[in-house]
Structure 1
Amino acid sequence: MQHGITLEDIYNFDETGFAMGLVATAKVVTRAEMLGRPFLIQPGNREWVTSIECINSTGWVLPPCIIFKGKVHIEGWYQDMALPADWRIEASGAVGTLLVDALLASSFTVSVVLRPSSKATFPASVTVHRANYDDLEALTTAFQGQDAVISAVGTFDAAIQRTAIDAAAAVPSVRRFIPSEYGGDTSQPGPVSFARFPQAKREIVEYLDSKEGITWTAICTGSFINWLLELENAAMGWDLSARKVSIFDSGNRPFVVSTLGQVTRAIISVLQHEEETKNAYVYVKSFEVTQTQLLGLIERLSGTKFEVKHLTTEEIAQRGVDHLEEGDYEHGYPEVVTAVAYGPWGFLGFGEQAEKWNGVLDLPKEDLEETVRDILKKKGLLKE
């Protein structure tokens, strides 16, 4: 009751996400974009809701917590919430964590800027600064003596990089700023009419380009194949655990994907090829594949036929736009990203450019079958 949540708001969920025990219409706290406002849930709805008290199968009460289960949750959604002092919102980013390890392994001196509330930990050799990302003075202090600033903010938080850019441009030692791209070719104007995030990222690059005394590199990597296939929420059409896949359009349009390892190698190589990558979009890849090719490989290695549903990118784009207009970001954002990725606009269709840049950056060739095999093994789906 401490936070104004009554017994009627408490639902018991089994591992499938179905409500157990209490079956009635009730208002519960759910979905991040509603910022704590109640949501009317009906009997039989498959909704993931706030979990205040968790009891495991042997009856032990777990520490009170809030578990967010969804296709996308953006840290920025929570910044204006009047949270009690004993509540904490944390984000975790695979790119940032892996990148720090890779930079240290390559003998770089690394400093990290974290929000004051973050409990992330790093090796003792990493200097950690605490600063809000809109605190110009604190960021300017943190960047002193650094040669480069690498941003790893989330896809939908691109705009918050402006203050960091101002700070970096004000520090004489900083020569390079790498904005948070690590995805599709945001220089392409095609999808912007229904997807806002490419435009936001492109505006950040334009803002960087307007700054004197600092250079930039925008690194386009395609989709992360690890996330594409490993996530449990049918991200971009793939739900390996359920043996289901949605194929968009013909399924034969090539698109670029990269492993997380290749992404970190590309970032490090950009720092080592300063002149070649100055003020440029750089395109890298692990593989260029089609949905049909990827499905065939997965079915062969798993020994399982998948249930296939066919959709068009126009359909999924409109569905995403409709959900966003309704305030349903959990579904809307992934749907719009899916449409942009698989559509005819060239967002992930830079395989030829990536081949050239892979050579410039001396990136290794990777094996698609071996990569997919490792993912299937991790998920317990590899055929014996």
Structure 2
Amino acid sequence: MGLEDQARRAYRAVRRYRQPPPAKIRLRDRQTTPPTVYYLCPDYDTPSGGVRTLYRHVDVLNDAGIPAALMHHRKGFRCGWFPHRTRVTDVASSPLGPDDLLVLPETEARLFPRLPPGLRHLIFNQSGHLTWDVDAERVSRHHRESPDLVGVLVASEHTRDLLEHAFGQPVHRVRPSVDPLLFAPPERANGRTISYLPRRGRSDVENALHILRARGVLADWVVDPVDGVPQHEVARRLRASTIFLTCSYQEGFGLPAAEAMATGNYVIGFHGYGGREFFDPSYSAPVPTGDLLGLSRTVEEVLARESAEPGWCFSRGLRAAAHVRAEYSPERERDSILAALKSVGFAS
């Protein structure tokens, strides 16, 4: 088993066994409030694109006039690692009515047998590859047999194909978005900086960098591991970067790579399957997953090209930024969320 595989298993074990017992979700006999969409969210106050997406969905719905709230397990808990204006509640304070809709992340599969009968719910599966991590047979049975499961949402074409193949049921794609105010390209090409996120595919990125240093090709380049900083600082450092390395093995979408593209980076690495839809070879350099030799060779070739033609990376980064900012705009995200709710028959 490789180091990356071990790291993924360790991460999953922490998420699976160190979470507090789930609070009991209650269903009232009658509707006493306007029909509301509740997004259940893990009490997880560490930077996570998936959690940030749940918060953003709630904001999108409220802005569109559809009552929505982010629901945590613990009373008084809310994420503090990014600024937000999201309406937040908790399970104990918000029993649901028969006309409400609960949206569950796929990581909350432990709650499936505890849901009250008659509670309409969606599963928002952002990862795809984590679907069967907790009680796989129960998860599959719930998808196939639950009369209260009204639909499944996903963040990428790859995850839609995966789940439709697994369960034989239609799946609704909701588009992620890249914040166009935060993640925008600089006006001119930067110096020579290579960035990456250590929490994603760290061992492969750093091994490739060791190879490149041994070959003497990084002498004129700064390497910036962007980690443990607020979202606005991530965006600032990506704008100051020329090349972004990504080595995620299995992604539901791969938002960091998309955000790096939006800031004008030339992105090199593994698309993680979920990111295949935006990893275009005309403005990025996809490398077969796990191919350390291919990764190091590709980076070296790109560095040589940039040295021979200064601005080569930035010209392609601008094309990547234009594509990502158009395809994954807040407007397209909003439209896809509203269309998904309409398709499952929710009316506020």
TM-score range, shorter chain: 0.3 to 0.5
Which structure has more relative contact order (CA 8 Å, sep 6+)? It is 2
TM-score, normalised to structure 2, is 0.35
